[in-house]
Amino acid sequence: MSEAIEGDRTFADKFPEEARVVRAALLGSFLALTLGAVFGIIQTLHRTGVFRGLISSTDYYTSLTAHGVFLALSFTTFFLVGLFTWAVVRSLDRPVIDIRITWTWYGLMAAGMTMTGISILAGFVNELDMSADVLFTFYAPLQAHPMFYAGLAVFIVGSWIAGADYFRTWLAWKRENPDERIPLQTFMVLTTMAMWYIASSAVAASVLIFLLPWSLGLIDQVNPTLTRTLFWFFGHPVVYFWLMPAYLLWYTVLPKIAGGRLFSDPLARVVFVLFLLLSTPVGIHHQYLDPGIAEGFKFISMTNTMFLLLPSLLTAFTVVASVEYGARQRGGTGLLGWLTDLPWRDPAFTGMMLAGLMFAAGGFSGMVNAGMNINYMIHNTIWVPGHFHLTVGTAVALTFMAATYWLWPQITNKPIYSRAIGLVQVVVWFVGMALMSNAMHAQGILGVPRRTAEPEYSGFDYPTMFGGFEELNIQIAIGGTLLFVSTVLFIGNLVLTMGNPKISGLAEELPPALSGPDDAPRVLDNLRLWVGIAVTLVVLAYALPLAAIINRGGLLGPGVGTFPVWLTPVLDALANGAAAVVGGVVDASASLAEVVG
């Protein structure tokens, strides 16, 4: 392969060190996906009542915590850091500054997630005095084992170093290329990471200042509204942290696979700047139904949220137009006839397109979630998981899987084992998610709660609309099963791919945009400016609400207790012990009475 000419060399040929990191990150991500899918199918069958034999309803919450953390935090973030490493190195066409730093952040992230993962999974083992059944939102005053929080902190610090790695690599490139525009992919990575620093600062503060010391017993109590607000300060932008790498793929890779090129580079930059500015000052929309937060703050958050629709709506246009351009290049004609001239047999293409279609549907339920007062109708019902399985669970997850079919050969020099299986896999995911998510939305409108092991109640029945509760349960179970099958196909295909021999000729070029970066105003590349504005907006949106929350409840909360989930086994053991003693006494006195009698 060393003889191969420049353009025919894959990423793995040109940057073998970096390719190794990208592979490691992707493999970490797929491990998390596998675990998450196992818990996903277990809980789907459990909550729908189809099969409850595998875990108890108490362990349901251990499973749900694992599913949420492994998929929403681990699968997404590991894929993202791998993808970003590829994107930065590829688009700058230079290696990272120091590969040891790259391995350091990878190691930290892996170590952190392992700690958190162990603390969660230990919840299945009653003998272990460790548990973190607090779900991925870890609302105080439910308290997890300290290792859960410590692991999260280490993981986040690792991601910060990853961000620094990208920035430093870019700065080095900038010194070498002083007058060049930031290449689009690098621009996307840098804006995403800048957003991430702002967003994750709050959850890091919440964990390090409050939750970890509290779980270690150093402070007695915390303010639940404050830690919840700090979580959502992070919790909304994190959904864009998942989404922006998917957008990166839709903007820069999808048009190429479609046979065309990006419609507009400047608009892509505008979209990422809008995300940087607007992703964070909106988190209070997750707290529309919280007491202790004034209605005015909620309204401001809603307004920001609604404008945050703009970058996504613009993306829909730009991406579809880029694909249409590809179709027309391939000879497509007619108003919509060009749709048939697209490479639908390519799993990478079809997967990303289906992911985008699902995202359009998710856009609608997202608008409902964002509409302050209509939130009464669906808040904390299963509608909400219905929504985000369309967004992160498909728009992001399916895009990542589809992109893997395109990217993996370039970081390994091995062709995908079976593209046909890949095609089946992405379609099965789409069908499964359509069933599961649709039924979840419908159940949500009936009032069926999320995060509930047995959502059928003894005292009442749900109203019937769009099919009854039971019927919708069947749909959810079938959909969840298809999703699980799809995950197995994906992982199986990838494992078989690893057994393929290395070949050459897998290199792919990414074409420049129709309207290139020279059309983009220079100011778009002024990251300092955008970060400055982003921070200002965040301060404007959060200073008053946070001050009000602290003012009402105090930094450490208005007389709230501590409810460690991880001490339950100990307490149970104590209770059992006590029961045994009491039982013994009762038995003894009974026999005594007999003797006496």
We find the least distance from the C-beta atom of residue 256 to ligand HEM, in angstroms, to be 25
Please report whether residue 261 would count as binding Cu ion according to CB under 5 A: no
Q: Classify each residue of 435-467 as buried b or exposed e, where b means 16 or more C-beta atoms within 10 Å of its C-beta.
A: bbbbbbbbbbbbbbebbbbebeeeeeebeeeee
Q: In what helix (H) or strand (E) does residue 406 lie, and over which residues does it extend? A: helix 397-412
From CA 259, how far away is CA 388, in angstroms rounded? Answer: 30
Q: Where are the beta strands (DSSP E) in 447-541?
A: none
From CA 248, how far away is CA 515, in angstroms rounded? Answer: 17
Q: Which of 21, 157, 171, 23 is nearest to 100 (CA)?
A: 21
Q: Left, alpha or beta for 466 (phi > 0: left; psi -120 to 50: alpha)?
A: left
Which tokens go with 353? 């397109």
Q: Measured in whole angstroms, how far is the alpha carbon of residue 246 from the centre of its chain?
A: 11
We find the least distance from the C-beta atom of residue 403 to ligand HEM, in angstroms, to be 14
466 contact choice in other proteins, ligand HEM, Cu ion, none (CB below 5 to 8 Å, kind-dependent): none
Which of 57-65, 94-102, 229-237, 521-529 is the region at the interface with Cu ion (rule: CB under 5 A)?
229-237
From CA 311, how far away is CA 117, in angstroms rounded? Answer: 34
**According to CB under 6 A, which one of 15, 30, 75, 149 is a site residue for ligand HEM?**
75
User: How far is the CA of 309 from the CAs of 82, 322, 366, in angstroms?
Assistant: 27, 20, 9
Please report whether residue 266 would count as binding other proteins according to CB under 8 A: yes
347 to 376, contacts with other proteins by CB under 8 A? 360, 363-364, 367-368, 370-374, 376
51 contact choice in Cu ion, ligand HEM, other proteins, none (CB below 5 to 8 Å, kind-dependent): none
From CA 5, how far away is CA 291, in angstroms rounded? Answer: 64
Please report whether residue 451 would count as binding Cu ion according to CB under 5 A: no
Please report whether residue 393 would count as binding ligand HEM according to CB under 6 A: yes
Looking at the DSSP bridge assignments, the partners of residue 142 are 563
From CA 184, how far away is CA 55, in angstroms rounded? Answer: 47
Q: Can you say whether the dihedral through the CA atoms of 370, 374, 380, 385 is positive or negative?
A: negative
Looking at the DSSP bridge assignments, the partners of residue 143 are 564
**According to CB under 8 A, which one of 310, 488, 527, 546 is a site residue for other proteins?**
310
457 to 496, contacts with other proteins by CB under 8 A? 457-463
Please report whether residue 482 would count as binding ligand HEM according to CB under 6 A: no
Which of 128-136, 145-153, 228-236, 467-475 is the region at the interface with Cu ion (rule: CB under 5 A)?
228-236
What is the three-class DSSP state of 284? Answer: helix
Please report whether residue 58 would count as binding other proteins according to CB under 8 A: yes
Which of 17-25, 412-420, 491-499, 507-515 is the region at the interface with other proteins (rule: CB under 8 A)?
507-515
236 contact choice in other proteins, Cu ion, ligand HEM, none (CB below 5 to 8 Å, kind-dependent): Cu ion
461 to 480, contacts with ligand HEM by CB under 6 A? 480
We find the least distance from the C-beta atom of residue 483 to ligand HEM, in angstroms, to be 4
Q: Which is nearer to Cu ion, 234 or 566 (CB)?
A: 234
Please report whether residue 432 would count as binding other proteins according to CB under 8 A: no
Find out whether 405 and 348 touch, Cβ atoms under 8 Å.
yes
180 contact choice in other proteins, ligand HEM, Cu ion, none (CB below 5 to 8 Å, kind-dependent): other proteins
* CB burial of residue 81 (10 Å; 0-12, 13-18, 19+): buried
**According to CB under 8 A, which one of 157, 510, 527, 567 is a site residue for other proteins?**
510
**According to CB under 6 A, which one of 12, 22, 31, 41 is a site residue for ligand HEM?**
41
From CA 490, how far away is CA 465, in angstroms rounded? Answer: 36
Find out whether 198 and 174 touch, Cβ atoms under 8 Å.
no
Which of 1-9, 148-156, 207-215, 392-400 is the region at the interface with other proteins (rule: CB under 8 A)?
1-9
**According to CB under 6 A, which one of 235, 281, 347, 385 is a site residue for ligand HEM?**
385
Which of 74-82, 104-112, 486-494, 503-511 is the region at the interface with other proteins (rule: CB under 8 A)?
503-511
Q: HSE, CB side, 13 Å, CA atoms: give it for residue 565.
A: 25
Q: Which is nearer to other proteins, 64 or 113 (CB)?
A: 64
Q: Can you say whether the dihedral through the CA atoms of 548, 554, 560, 566 is positive or negative?
A: positive
Query: Nearest to Cu ion by Cβ — which residue?
Result: 236
Find out whether 560 and 141 touch, Cβ atoms under 8 Å.
yes
**According to CB under 6 A, which one of 114, 177, 329, 452 is a site residue for ligand HEM?**
452
Q: Which is nearer to other proteins, 495 or 555 (CB)?
A: 555
We find the least distance from the C-beta atom of residue 506 to other proteins, in angstroms, to be 10
122 to 141, contacts with ligand HEM by CB under 6 A? 135-136
We find the least distance from the C-beta atom of residue 193 to other proteins, in angstroms, to be 18
Find out whether 119 and 130 touch, Cβ atoms under 8 Å.
yes
Q: Which is nearer to ligand HEM, 134 or 319 (CB)?
A: 134
We find the least distance from the C-beta atom of residue 141 to other proteins, in angstroms, to be 5
**According to CB under 8 A, which one of 380, 576, 589, 591 is a site residue for other proteins?**
380
306 contact choice in other proteins, Cu ion, ligand HEM, none (CB below 5 to 8 Å, kind-dependent): other proteins
Q: HSE, CB side, 13 Å, CA atoms: give it for residue 566.
A: 23
**According to CB under 8 A, which one of 25, 355, 513, 538 is a site residue for other proteins?**
513
Q: In which residue are the tokens 């307490």 written?
A: 571
**According to CB under 6 A, which one of 9, 261, 387, 451 is a site residue for ligand HEM?**
451
User: How far is the CA of 488 from the CAs of 2, 377, 482, in angstroms?
Assistant: 36, 36, 10
Q: If you count them, how many residues does the chain have? A: 597
We find the least distance from the C-beta atom of residue 352 to Cu ion, in angstroms, to be 23
Task: Tell me the catalytic residues.
Answer: 236, 240, 387-389, 450-451
Please report whether residue 236 would count as binding Cu ion according to CB under 5 A: yes
Could you give phi then psi for residue 503, rounded to 5 degrees?
A: -135, 170
User: How far is the CA of 372 from the CAs of 48, 306, 375, 437, in angstroms?
Assistant: 29, 10, 6, 22
Binding site for Cu ion (CB under 5 A): 236
Binding site for ligand HEM (CB under 6 A): 37, 40-41, 43-44, 47, 64, 67-68, 71-72, 75-76, 135-136, 385, 389, 392-393, 397, 450-452, 480, 483-484, 487
